[in-house]
Every structure is written in C-alpha cells, then in structure tokens.
Amino acid sequence: MNCEEAIEALIEADVPSGPVLTGEEAIVDPQVLHNGTLVEWEHPDAGIVRQPKPAARFSVTTVDPKTAQLTEVNITKKPFRR
C-alpha cells in the first residue's frame, strides 16, 4: 500500500488523516495556500520571510507593531525619560 492508498483507506474508514509533508511540500500545498496558513513579511536584514501565522486568528484585532517599530515610535514621538 502506498501513501495515497493509505490515505484513501483512512478517509473511507472516516479516520481524520492527511499526508505528512516536508517543509518544501507544505509551503506549496493547496490546502495550506487556501487556508492562508503562511504569512510573508519584510525583515529589515533578511528580506522577505515566509512563516506560519499564529494558530489562533482574530478577525477584529490587528497585530501590534514589532518591538523595533514600537521602540522607534517611542524614541521619535515621545520624550525620553528615565
């Protein structure tokens, strides 16, 4: 029995299952792309970075600024106090 036959048998038996993918396979998997599982963002040193989104997703809330962005805003917009 090959992988495809095994998955088909599991589906027919109503067993939740799916293939185990390598990282290279996972980032182009149709289900991963459809679900929007990955996010791309610009890293200041590394360029475009692709990584999984957090598992929990909230449609009303937004992502806070990255620490460096927050620090930059604090330094340029607010007086520095110790």
* pLDDT attached to residue 19: 80
- Pair of tokens at residue 79: 């007086």
Whose structure tokens read 């460096």? Answer: 68
> Which helix or strand (DSSP H or E) is residue 40 part of?
strand 38-43
* pLDDT attached to residue 5: 92
Q: How far apart are CA 82 and CA 73, in angstroms?
A: 17
Regions in the chain scoring below 70 on pLDDT: 61-82
* pLDDT attached to residue 10: 94
Cβ–Cβ < 8 Å for 62, 54 = no
* pLDDT attached to residue 70: 55
Q: How far apart are CA 60 and CA 58, in angstroms?
A: 6
* pLDDT attached to residue 3: 85
* pLDDT attached to residue 77: 60
Which residue, among 61, 57, 19, has the nearest Cα to 38 in the 3D structure? 57
